[in-house]
Structures are given as C-alpha cells and as structure tokens.
A and B are shown apart, each in its own frame.
With several copies, the nearest count.
Chain A
C-alpha cells in the first residue's frame, strides 16, 4: 500500500524529520487560503499515487496566493497515468543549495533492508543508477542490529556531505530507519532531501510503501489508504481478502493460489490468443478461503461487464472444495447469471464439493478435469457465446 506524499511527510515528521509545513487542499480556494497563511512563494503539488507528476504538469511554483489558486484549479481533476488528482499539497518553497537522495527499501536477495544515498537528488534514483552508478552509496542493515551510526557516516562520507551537516544527517537517517521499521515499510524515500541555504536538511518530497501483510498491526496506516483513485472492484477485493488484478480479456478467472492463477491466465491466453480471447482478471482467493470469500470473489467477477465466461479452477489443499462449492452456490443464489461457468474442482474434499454443486442445479455449468481442458472449454464458451 502506497502513501500520498503529504501522508508520508507527516509520518516522517512524527519521527523527527524536518519537512516543509504545508497543507492539503481539495479546492482551489483552499489552496489560496493556505498560500495566504504561509506567505511567500509556495509549491502546488498534485497528490497522486503514481510517479512522473512533475512531467505531467502536476507540480507548479506560485509567487502569489492568486497564482496558487490558479495552479490548484489546473491541477485538481488532472488525470495523471490514470489517476485523478483530488488533492494538492501546498508547501512553502525553500531556498536550496543542494538536493540529495536518501531512501530505505528491502533487498530481497540480501534479505535485509538497504539504505541508499546519493548526492544526485531530485531525480529518479533508477535513472541515476543507470547513468552514474558510482554516485549511489548503499549500506545493508542487519535487521537485528539496526542501522549503525558508522553506516550513516559511510553514506555521508560517500556523498561528500559537508562535515557540519553530519550530526544532523545521522539523526535524520536514524529517524528514517526508525520510521521504516516502525511502519513495516517496504520503501521510505526522501527525494529530494534538500540542503537549504540556511544549512539545514529538509525533506522536500517523500514516498512510503507499507507491507500489506503488516496492516493488521497498523490500523492508523491502514486508515490512510486512498481508495478514491483505484477501481471499485479492487477495493472490494481487498476488503474480502482477495488478490485481484483487472485485465482486458473476457474470461473471469477464480482460482486458489497465485501460481495456479497465473498458470490459468497463461493457459487461457495460450488457447485463446488466436481468437483475441484471454483472461479478464487475475483472482486468487488465497489459501483456506471459505464460502463467503468465494461468494465475494464471484460477485466481483459478475459485476465486470466484459466477462463472457467464468472459469473456476480450484485445486484443494488448505482450501476445501466443499467450501468453495458452498460459496459458488451462495453467489449464484443472489445473482442470476446465464454466463457459461467452467468449473474444475479437485483436491481436498473434491467429491463432496462436486456433489453439492450437482445438487444445486446452477444453470450453464460445464465441468472439466484438467487445467488445459478447463481453459480450452472457457475459450470455446466465449467464442460460442
């Protein structure tokens, strides 16, 4: 889960990291009032959960409150890579001597957090990495020892940070690490971290991503989720604990397990591509899903108007086939649907599951034994339908 810039900055500030004291506006008038209160030059910044807003014209400098209002007017409602801007952050502009980069993320291969620093701040770090990899200093953090001061010194030394700033930088980097750990973040990034004309460090922009699996222990972070920008189906899927990604095909897939769900997508693509037929979605009901979860998944698929056939592929392990059957029956007792339903039900309690489905007499059910068979039948059903 990603946080908006203003949310990330407010969290960083709670851990002691200096940030500009701007405010968020939902209307141009609000933006003007904030600019008036701040006084001086301000920056008006689109709050969207995607990169590249600068290039899209989503970040503008304003010398007067009237200008701030005009910029907010232009930015609010903007569509940046499919994300509609609903809020702008109005920050006081700062006089800047240098911009650096400081971020922490998890290094999968090393199985440790890694703190990354570069004197080349203000631009995409991936871009810096391609162009000038020696400008990036990395320190892996032992998750049990935590970030040590000597590692921060190594970063400061590596980017040739002026010595009078080292103490401030140590405090800030420690605070960033504390925030990363305490938030179960997968990314905490300050870019740019400005050295102001007054010789202070200031986090001008920030990104934070939170490990979704950790949200059970972070109700405060979970409450920050902005669902206004994402498709309603994804919001509902998350609420039902489903892993759902909408795609552009016609076969609504409901599968247990991410690997099998991907293989199901692969098979429908493989058999359907000659006819322009493919999966309408990736949908993994997870391990041990109960009838209610299955029903919720079917409801999401059934509300997608592009879906012309449903492919239900369950290989029971921790998920029990009889529970899945109950969910299917429950969903179709609510929604009447004439769509072809290709059902493949194997594994734990498969006989009981098949029996339940047969007894329920749901219309237009097509059974299959193997995955390939199920995928081929689904493609055929779309072609025939």
Chain B
C-alpha cells in the first residue's frame, strides 16, 4: 500500500532529455520505478533509456497510461510544465524544480485548485516508497521498507532522517518531500492525513523548518485527528531572526514561525521533538 506511489506507479518524466532529467531517470529505473516515457517538446519520437519521448504530456499519457509525472524542467519553464500535467489530468504531479517565481506558483496553485490533480513540490526531493517506487531525486539506497512514514519540507535533511532510521534498522512506508517553497501543492496536513489513513504506516516522522505556519497547522491537526505517534525535528533553531536562510520558506517573519514556537506547539500535542537528526530513530524506537 504505502501512500502516493507504489508498484502500480506508471511514471512520466517531464524534461527527460535534460541533464538532471536524464541522470535521475536512470537512477529511478535502476531503483525499479516503472518509468513509462518522457516529455521534451520538440523531441517527440526519440527514445531515452529505452523509453519513448513525446512532445506533449497529453500524448504521452494517452500512449502510456501513465498515472504520475515528475518534473525536472528548469525554473523558467517549470510552471508551464506543471500546468501541462494538470491539463492532461494526471492524478499525481511531482515537481522537483527549485527557483520557480512566486507569481508563477500562484497561478499554478489556482489551476490546481480547480483540478483533480495533486501536486507535490515544487523545490522538493520527491517521493520514495522503499522497495517499490522512487519518484524524484532521493538516494534510494539509504532507505528500507518498513512502517514509518516520513514527511519533510527540506530536501537533504530528509535524507539525513531516512538514513538515520535505516542505520538503526527502522524501515519506512513512504518518504514524502513536500518542498520548501512558500506556495506548494501538498502540505504537511495533507500527508499526515494520508499516513493516518494508511494501514502500512504505524508511526510518522515530520521534518520542519523555521518560517511560515505549516508546522503550526500540522501540530493542530495532530492534536485533533492523529492516532499514530509523531516524532518531529525542526531545523533553524540557531538562525538569526529576519534573515532568509536559502529557502524562500525559511524566513522568520516578526516572531511568526520561529523554531522555538513550533517545537513548543508540537510538544503541547504530544509530539516528541528530536534535538539532532541522529536522535530521531531513538525517539521513534522508544
């Protein structure tokens, strides 16, 4: 079962002939993901790694019966690529691209609201259901199948957490990177609900950051609706106030969204918060 992706995932790669797209298509295939084709406008008819390339998502989806698309298209063209996947009515779209302008994402978000598609990302590492399917850029070998759901706003920090779990022999049901951008497709809340509903998930690890209010909403949801135990880690405890730390999402706005505030909220609803990434598996196991 797991959530979002599994052995039934039939994946399209938008931007399959680009450097990143090609590299990670190989990685995903090597992991066992069922990549059924790719899209690069103007390169329709070519073949990459034994997979057909199409000019448009609609043609690709019709020809392959794909149900997920992953986007490696550069930022200036990424919003258009997401809109194309929405237009082709793909149920799940995973946008890896970072640096998409806010204005573009506001438009995408409105189009999304009127569609049946779910977007994960952008600016995210994608999804990994260990042993079944990998969509995005997470290094597959650090994960192992199990029953802990992982959800994170961060990219590499997610790997850190997954790696720490695996090192301690704790496997994962699905790992979800929701991305660090201020406007994205899927929130902590969405994923927590899915984990709560997923029979294969027993516990959840949530990796948050300073800035924004997503963690606060997640804490509220956990307090009211989650029956499964949640362990959290929040990055940016020592960040100086008012400076942007890389992520568009990771800015402390006038006292809203500090690490201390988020940690306190999580603890108030029974979530145990780790001090170091290595502490996460200890809390999960205990």
Instruction: State the A residues within 8 Å of B (CB).
Output: 106, 108-109, 111-113, 126, 142-145, 148-151, 153-154, 156-157, 163, 166, 181, 184, 186, 211, 213-214, 216-217, 243, 245, 247, 255-263, 265-267, 269-270, 278-279, 282, 284, 286-288, 314-320, 346-348, 370-372
A150 vs chain B, min Cβ distance (A): 4
Asked if B139 and A348 make an inter-chain contact with CB atoms under 8 angstroms apart, the answer reads yes
Given the complex of chains A and B, what is the CA–CA distance between A346 and B155 in angstroms? 14
Task: Take A184-B102, A282-B245 as given contacts and tell me if A143 and B157 are in contact as well, using a CB distance cutoff of 8 Å.
Answer: no
Asked if B77 and A149 make an inter-chain contact with CB atoms under 8 angstroms apart, the answer reads yes
Given the complex of chains A and B, what is the CA–CA distance between A315 and B52 in angstroms? 32
Given the complex of chains A and B, what is the CA–CA distance between A144 and B98 in angstroms? 23
B166 vs chain A, min Cβ distance (A): 12
Task: Take A257-B154, A317-B139, A317-B156 as given contacts and tell me if A149 and B100 are in contact as well, using a CB distance cutoff of 8 Å.
Answer: no
Contacts of A318 in B (CB 8 A): 20, 24, 96, 125, 137, 155
Asked if B103 and A256 make an inter-chain contact with CB atoms under 8 angstroms apart, the answer reads no
Interface segment out of the listed B2-10, B106-114, B220-228? B106-114
- CB-contacts of B62-110 with A (<8 A): 75-77, 80-81, 83-84, 87, 96, 98-103, 106-107, 109-110
B279 vs chain A, min Cβ distance (A): 9
Given the complex of chains A and B, what is the CA–CA distance between A278 and B238 in angstroms? 10
Closest 8 CB pairs of A and B: A259-B154, A258-B246, A257-B156, A157-B55, A259-B157, A150-B84, A214-B101, A243-B246
B170 vs chain A, min Cβ distance (A): 15
Contacts A211-B102, A258-B250, A259-B207 known; list 13 others, CB within 8 Å: A106-B102, A148-B80, A149-B80, A150-B57, A156-B41, A259-B153, A260-B154, A260-B155, A265-B238, A284-B246, A286-B246, A317-B125, A371-B277
From B75, B96, B159, B236, contact of A315 by CB (8 A): B159
Task: Take A143-B106, A143-B107, A347-B142 as given contacts and tell me if A262 and B75 are in contact as well, using a CB distance cutoff of 8 Å.
Answer: no
Asked if B56 and A143 make an inter-chain contact with CB atoms under 8 angstroms apart, the answer reads no
A68 vs chain B, min Cβ distance (A): 34
Task: Take A108-B183, A150-B81 as given contacts and tell me if A258 and B154 are in contact as well, using a CB distance cutoff of 8 Å.
Answer: yes
> Which of B139, B153, B213 has the largest count of A CB atoms less than 10 A from its CB?
B139
B212 at the interface (CB under 8 A from A): yes
Contacts of B277 in A (CB 8 A): 263, 370-372
Asked if A109 and B210 make an inter-chain contact with CB atoms under 8 angstroms apart, the answer reads no
Asked if B80 and A245 make an inter-chain contact with CB atoms under 8 angstroms apart, the answer reads no
Minimum CB distance partner of A268 in chain B: B238
Asked if A347 and B159 make an inter-chain contact with CB atoms under 8 angstroms apart, the answer reads yes
Asked if A259 and B247 make an inter-chain contact with CB atoms under 8 angstroms apart, the answer reads yes
Q: How big is chain B's contact interface, by range?
A: 35 or more
Given the complex of chains A and B, what is the CA–CA distance between A284 and B109 in angstroms? 27
A94 vs chain B, min Cβ distance (A): 25
Contacts of A150 in B (CB 8 A): 41, 56-57, 80-81, 83-84, 87
Contacts of B159 in A (CB 8 A): 315, 317, 346-347
Given the complex of chains A and B, what is the CA–CA distance between A109 and B217 in angstroms? 11
B275 at the interface (CB under 8 A from A): yes
B163 at the interface (CB under 8 A from A): yes
Please name 5 pairs of A and B residues whose Cβ atoms are closer than 8 Å in the assembled complex, sorted by A.
A112-B106, A126-B254, A259-B247, A262-B157, A314-B156
Asked if A153 and B236 make an inter-chain contact with CB atoms under 8 angstroms apart, the answer reads no
Asked if B238 and A216 make an inter-chain contact with CB atoms under 8 angstroms apart, the answer reads no
B118 at the interface (CB under 8 A from A): no
Asked if B56 and A142 make an inter-chain contact with CB atoms under 8 angstroms apart, the answer reads no
From A260, A270, A372, contact of B157 by CB (8 A): A260
A299 vs chain B, min Cβ distance (A): 19
Contacts of B191 in A (CB 8 A): none
